[in-house]
Amino acid sequence: MMTEAPGAGRERIAAPLRADCVADSAGGLTFDIGGTDDPGPAHLLLRRRDGDEIALPLTPAEGGRLRAALPSSVDLPEGRWDAYAQFAEGTPRHLTPGCNDLRSLVDRAPGETAPRIAVRIPYPTRQGTLAVRSWLRAPHAEAGELRIGEGELRVRGRMYGTGLAEDAYAEVRERGGPRSVLRADVSGSAADFGFTVPYAPLAPGIWDLWLRPAGEQGPRVRLARLLDDVADKKPVFRYPRAAVRAEHGAVEAWPYYTVDNDLSVTVSATDRPA
């Protein structure tokens, strides 16, 4: 909902500038800012929460607007980047999201051989300002359809940046604690893969899903859903809970996307006896 920024004094602070973003299907972004009236040299500043910063030149575009481009070829490390406009040496001004045209991201299908997957999704922060969420993965295991079966989760996905070897498998790794690791066989052809996670062996807790596309010797790739326009998957991509008589007692289990849009499974003990 729209609320005013806390502590925003009347007329004292320069009004935030509105930016319109357009995404291209390769992962590039264009930012358009209006209402600046010839401010002299200007930059679009992306500042990560840890202080890392990237400055992109803002150049005059049609209609007296200023434009900055963040092409897919420019690295933007993973994280949340707050967007500002900076004029000359002045204090950076927050940007507010205007009209974000992200239609080319909706069903993004990069080539399977793309050496790395770069994803940038502009989004409004809780304070109503503009930020960009970035992911950079090589290789990348994209989670697709999830199916909740009888006491199990069936995952389908697609591999980018590396092939699937004969001995490819999936890992279900317990987060924290004694860190058990379960293995699941991976089936698939070319880049498309599938595997099944049985809930019964999982102890209450959180289990992260990984892919080992080249078997034990190769990389460990976190499963994530990145190739669309939704910056925060958790509230949108939701899945039913399954009640399971597990080895550790009666539990409920369900898949979910983490704050980073990685795929995990929550297992929660229920009161009912197993």
Interface with other proteins (CB under 8 A): 1-2, 4, 10, 20, 99-103, 106-107, 145-148, 229-230, 235-240
Nearer to other proteins, 18 or 173 (CB): 18
At 130, which helix (H) or strand (E)? strand 130-137
Pull the structure tokens for residue 85: 């406009």
Reported as half-sphere exposure (CB side, CA atoms, 13 A), residue 76 has a value of: 31
Specify the long-range contacts of residues 254-259, CB closer than 8 Å, at least 24 apart.
Answer: 254/148, 255/146, 255/148, 255/153, 255/155, 257/224, 257/225, 257/233, 258/234, 259/232, 259/234
Q: How far is the CB of 53 from other proteins (least distance, A)?
A: 28
* Minimum CB distance to other proteins, residue 5 (Å): 11
Nearer to other proteins, 21 or 251 (CB): 21
Residue 201 CB, nearest distance to other proteins (Å)?
Answer: 24
Identity of the residue, 27 or 122, whose beta carbon is nearer to other proteins in the bound complex: 122
Distance CA 259, CA 47 (A): 19
Q: Shortest gap between Cβ of 102 and other proteins (angstroms)?
A: 7
Question: CB-wise, 49 or 147, nearer to other proteins?
Answer: 147
Q: Are 231 and 195 in contact (CB under 8 A)?
A: no
Closest separation in Å from C-beta 203 to other proteins: 25
Radius of gyration of the chain (CA): 22
- Nearest residue (CB) to other proteins, 156 versus 248: 156
Count CA atoms within 13 Å of residue 98 on its CB side. Answer: 15
Q: Which of 123, 169 has the CB closer to other proteins?
A: 123
Minimum Å distance from CB 231 to other proteins?
Answer: 12
CA 234 to chain centre: 10
